[in-house]
Structure 1
Amino acid sequence: MNTRRFFLTSLGSLTASLIFASCSQPATQESNNSTQTISQKEQKEIIKVGVTGVVAQDILKFVNNNLATAEGLEIQVVTFNDWIQPNTALRDKVIDANFFQHRPFMNNAVKELKINLVALNTVYLNTLGLFSKNLKSVGEIPQNATVTIANDVINNDRGLRLLAANGLIKLKENAPQFVTRRDIAANPKNLRIKEVEGVQVVRAINDVDFIVSSAQTVALAGIEPNSMGQETAKDKKYALAFVTLQGRENEAKIQKLNKLLVDPKVKDFINQEYKGRLVPVF
């Protein structure tokens, strides 16, 4: 796996990636073919899609280079370095759609940001694991170990439940739908749980005993840590969805890309490129 670009998203909060346009035909082609190519480009609809990581960007690049032209579509990717701006940019119509969040996260964003969002097709599941540079198993986790997890409502809940599933903490029996540290009933190893913004979790791996992160994010960061526990891939509610503003979901260009994202060729690309670290859900 090429680990070239994970940290590029931190270079700016809003960067349009225009390199996804299909290449034009060589200048040596006959003039009538060149004219036809220019005409086809002029007729393409541009759709701007917000992302926060390289995986979604690579999938959109594949779609743009292999499927979009036949639909008269050109995908322009806009990258963000946090998990708030891709939705506020939708509200402000800076972008047409985004591709970075699962439905539970989106539903919480609707409440928190008071933005009417709608999830269309879900594409892939990025499972969580417990990762460490030094520890090789859950049994090696020492007393007073420090772990870093995401601080947003949904992924904080997801991280805590993964710790509980691996026997590291116990949650209250009457815990709410989304748990927080207040819902921890027992912490036998006295884990010190640090909460940071989701995109910052993987960067903490050198400073803590272990982290709760996705295997793909860890791999793209150029890290080869030990995986000590992983959540099941059966729960598809955490699969990443293609999202837009409510009321825009039936726009032609949005529906075109929504359909292309679940093309069988995209499934083949995900399976071949990520070798099980991502799970297609369509």
Structure 2
Amino acid sequence: MVQQLFKPGEIFSVLGQRGSEKEVIQVEVTGIISEDILKFVNTKLAHQEGLEVKVVTFNDWIQPNTALTDKVIDANFFQHRPFMNNAVKELKINLFPLNLVSLSTLGLFSKNLKSVNEVPQNATVTIANDVINNDRGLRLLASNDLIKLKENTKGFGTQRDIAENPKNLRIKELEGVQVVRAINDVDLIVSSAQTFALAGIIPQSMGQETAKDKKYVLALVTLQGRENEPKIQKLNKLLNAPQVRDFINKQYQGRIVPVF
């Protein structure tokens, strides 16, 4: 009779210590840039921590958070703090933000116009319809002097907060991931570099955000209570590695900005 020296779980643990097994972490994304960053980490850095990063993709902005509560994934990498705070309120999910990683700058883009000065009267503009990016888009239009918002606009602004619209812009709202597809049908759109990358387009921006305001920076997010799990902390540390900063700068040349 062969004597059983270890329980199955103990055997796995010993193998892991010897380096023949990797700890798997499943991370959700909704955009190709977040996916590329995670793939870089998995290929170049994760082995240092005995980690394997598996990327799970979703096509909407709701499931990535609900999947955390269902434990389908361990973390997600697609949202900034204002979006997360709104999700906590709307979905009644306790989320925990970890390290800040990158800013996908929001910009004004057009197929035919080369500058804001060329925007004609009665131009059609498309922006995202979700609470966060709707506000963000309106503020970008205002910062480029295309509209003016009411001085007492607090929280998340909407079109009702427009005080002046000198060019009589016709502002259309679409689902965030659909905005980029309207570029052939409108005068200009407000969209992110990540959305354009997903569509396979490298546009010239007429005006964009800067990294000065970090509230829209993407962060690794997990379910509250899981933030100290070793595999989550390992990935959290790797996402702020100098090699990741160099990769982002080289790969995206200012369209995506590392903030660490």
Contact 2:134–2:157 under 8 Å retained in 1: yes
Out of 25, 39, 47, which is 1:69 matched to?
47
- Is the counterpart of residue 191 in structure 1 residue 169 in structure 2? yes
Contact 2:32–2:194 under 8 Å retained in 1: no
Contact 1:49–1:98 under 8 Å retained in 2: yes
Query: Greater CA deviation, 160-169 or 192-201?
Result: 192-201
Long gaps (5+) in structure 2: 1-14
Report the counterpart of residue 164 of structure 1 in structure 2. Answer: 142
State the 4+ residue runs in structure 1 displaced beyond 4 angstroms: none
Shift of 1:252: 0.8
Report the counterpart of residue 101 of structure 1 in structure 2. Answer: 79
Contact 2:146–2:165 under 8 Å retained in 1: yes
Shift of 1:142: 1.4
Report the counterpart of residue 232 of structure 1 in structure 2. Answer: 210
1:201-243 Cα shifts (integer Å, max 9, x gaps): 1111111111001234324523344421112221111110000
Query: Greater CA deviation, 196-205 or 214-223?
Result: 214-223
- Is the counterpart of residue 249 in structure 1 residue 227 in structure 2? yes
Counterpart AA for 1:149: I
Counterpart AA for 1:117: L
Identity, % of aligned pairs?
A: 79
Give the Cα separation in 2 of the matches to 1:226 and 1:72: 41
- Secondary structure of 1:106's counterpart equals helix
Counterpart AA for 2:41: V
Contact 1:135–1:226 under 8 Å retained in 2: no
Counterpart AA for 1:138: V
Shift of 1:55: 0.4
Contact 1:134–1:226 under 8 Å retained in 2: no
Report the counterpart of residue 179 of structure 2 in structure 1. Answer: 201
RMSD, aligned CA? 1.6
Give the Cα separation in 1 of the matches to 2:203 and 2:259: 26
- Secondary structure of 2:190's counterpart equals strand
Counterpart AA for 2:119: I
Report the counterpart of residue 127 of structure 2 in structure 1. Answer: 149
- Secondary structure of 2:184's counterpart equals coil
Task: Give TM-score, length-normalised by structure 2.
Answer: 0.90
Long gaps (5+) in structure 1: 1-35
- Secondary structure of 1:77's counterpart equals strand
Task: Give TM-score, length-normalised by structure 1.
Answer: 0.83
Report the counterpart of residue 269 of structure 1 in structure 2. Answer: 247
Counterpart AA for 2:212: K
Across the two proteins, how many residue pairs are aligned to each other?
A: 245
Contact 1:120–1:258 under 8 Å retained in 2: yes
Change (3 A) 1:85 1:229: same
Counterpart AA for 1:113: L
Contact 1:146–1:191 under 8 Å retained in 2: yes
Give the Cα separation in 1 of the matches to 2:96 and 2:223: 6
Give the Cα separation in 2 of the matches to 1:162 and 1:56: 23
- Secondary structure of 1:104's counterpart equals helix
